[in-house]
Chain A
Amino acid sequence: MIDFTFTEEQEMFRKAAQEFAETQVAPKVPEMEKTGKASQDLVKAMAEAEMMALTIPEEYGGLGLGYTARFIALEEISKVSVAAGMMLQVFALGIEPILKFGSDAQKKNFLPGLATGERLASTAVTETTGGSDPTGIRSTYKKDGEDYILNGRKCFITNSHIADTITVLAKDDENPKAFSTFILEKGMEGFKATHEENKVGMRGCNTGELAYENCRVPKENLVGVEGKGLGVALAAIGDVGRGGMVACALGLQAACLEVSVKFANERILYGKPISRLQTIQNKLADMKIDLEAGRLLGYKAASMQDKGERSSNEFAVAKYFTTEAAQRAAKMASDIHGGYGCMEEYAVSRYMRDSFVLGPSAGTSDIMKVIIARWTLS
């Protein structure tokens, strides 16, 4: 039989994440909204709370908790700040290629620092040519003795300016069908973060461009087998990246519902709280249905992932559903709030902006449908 209950331990993880979000994340939100910059204090707090260590095995200084625990943490943090959730979700996305495809030496070298948050991770696939079809990228590598020389640019990269360890996908200079993934480190000659984006939503989660010009990367930094890098990048994005977005979207859905219920109970119209009006109840019910359904999709995929099964198709369904639902929820929350929904002081205006950034991150809804259709037809 299927058991849909969280374990006592998972409930405690949720509580720990909740406490962290309320006490450590919430106070940073106004500044993040104002500056649009990643908060160093928040990164430090996340590291102290062992948030980067969740998916890393204990032998490498991590907690070895797996994906459901990560999902719970992301959901609770995103309920308070989707930007913070996004930042954290991409740390894990950057860690995943090393975790799944890295050599023992690479794991020993990189994972302990990434677990403590001493080093921050990201993954860079997307270029101006797009992210969903990575075969179209223009970044190249070529062998030079024991090293590789990388050239190219990446854009829309989360954590671009704060990450120290970034797995980068590039194409063989001579063979357009061969891709490889390399670990680039901050400070490598010829490698730098360039333009920093100014997003409408998820403000405080850093997004920007990376450039590498004749960047010399030692062969020790090649992840997996040369020429088989596409699988490395896609596995990370499909399972961890997509999964993380589902948790972020669920957090936002829950936040929208919570503020809507509160506002609907407090706002008086015709002498009664508006929560007594059927039209408002209808919206609240819709949000609740979306949240319940989204959670089932998300946690089902996360539990498959914990069992070591491939879950990228299930996460594609969940990603489509929850990010669309988050946009619906933000719209309904805004509608319920009326004029207040347009005011900066009310969180719903932020939810609205954040919900729009959820869509394209880790693949748009249209791309999700392409993937889902491919899965269905296969």
Chain B
Amino acid sequence: MGKSRGPVWVIAEQIDCRILEVSFQLIGHGRKLAAALDTTVEAILLGHKMEEHPRQLFAAGGDRVYLGNDPELAVYQPEIYTEIIEKLAKERQPEIILVGSTAMGRELAPLIAARLDTGLTAHCIDLVIDGNKVLESRIPAYGGLLSIICPDRRPQMATIATGVFPNPEPDESRTGEIIPIEVPKKIPRRIQTLEVVREEPEGMDLESATIVVAGGAGAGDPAGWRKIAGLAEVLNAALGATRPAVDEGWAALETMIGQSGKMVSPELYIGVGLSGELQHMVGISGAKIMVAINNDAKSPVFEQVDYGIVDDYREFVPVFIEKIKEYQGKLKTC
């Protein structure tokens, strides 16, 4: 008999007492990892008025929930959250800690990793247990797929975006153990979240859209970007962007699709003026039909879609819009 391994942990995240989807998705996938390691899945849930919520985490596949339920924990407070999780991890020795690639997760995960002297893989698109029972975190890079491991130190940590793993089917009959956690008394209070302001997102929600049109660096300029936005409008589609397009300032960070942005799985995806960088393409790998419009016939994007149009998008898109309108007109008259 080998020594028993520590649990797989998921740092659950709540906003206004609603647990985020990514937390359930990580628990769902955490079950698979735990099965391969012959261990349990446990969640850390910090918030206020969260007494009833552990049930949902059990239903998703959690075996145990550490619940911090305190007004001080209502919103993310980096110092307190880090302190609690560090202390708990040192006591309980988890094998793996999974964190959602959210704004909170991206700050909290490295704070915990550095405190625990361990490695952390960013924005993974897959997690598997290898033959040596080591976690392999897969990330796309340079047109290939890198496997990152943290062979010698524990826990092994990774952040994962919403939508990388499917939502688990909730099993309401599952139960588990709730372990309350206290807010530590003696911590430095050098940082306080005073307020969390959420604004109405602009445009259509990418994650729930049935059609997504995305633009890349090839848009060239703001006028070009508006042309692509025009296509999205005609198709009643959500408009997404690649990192270079966000970098150019044409699109907001929230509309970025890909490894370090959003993961979407629409019925139809149309990529315009983008080169098919893996960091972007992993974000739309779940699309049913994919189309690319790019004037460079050699662009790698044409190896990754169902239909390719080799043409200057500035010329092609207006013609395409006309054809779509023709079709939509026909539908109305029928």
Contact = CB atoms under 8 A, between A and B. Distances in A.
A260 B258 CA distance: 32
A35 B33 CA distance: 67
A266 interface: yes
User: Interface on chain A toward B: helix, strand, loop, or mixed SS?
Assistant: strand
A10 interface: no
Contacts of B296: 265-266
A265 B295 CA distance: 9
B185 interface: no
User: Interface on chain B toward A: helix, strand, loop, or mixed SS?
Assistant: loop
Contacts of B141: none
Interface range for A: under 10
Nearest to B299: A266
A265 B296 CA distance: 7
Interface residues of B, number: 5
Nearest to A272: B297
B310 interface: yes
A27 B310 CA distance: 28
B332 interface: no
A265 B298 CA distance: 8
A268 interface: yes
A268 B299 CA distance: 13
Interface in A226-270: 265-266, 268
A44 B297 CA distance: 42
A272 B310 CA distance: 11
Contacts of A273: 297-298
Interface in B277-333: 295-298, 310
Interface string A262-302: 00011010001100000000000000000000000000000
Contacts of A265: 296, 298
B205 to A, nearest CB: 34
Contacts of B297: 266, 268, 272-273
Given A265-B298, A268-B297, A273-B297, 7 more contacts: A265-B296, A266-B295, A266-B296, A266-B297, A268-B310, A272-B297, A273-B298
10 contacts: A265-B296, A265-B298, A266-B295, A266-B296, A266-B297, A268-B297, A268-B310, A272-B297, A273-B297, A273-B298
**Top 9 A-B pairs ranked by shortest CB distance?**
A266-B295, A268-B297, A266-B296, A268-B310, A273-B297, A273-B298, A265-B296, A265-B298, A266-B297
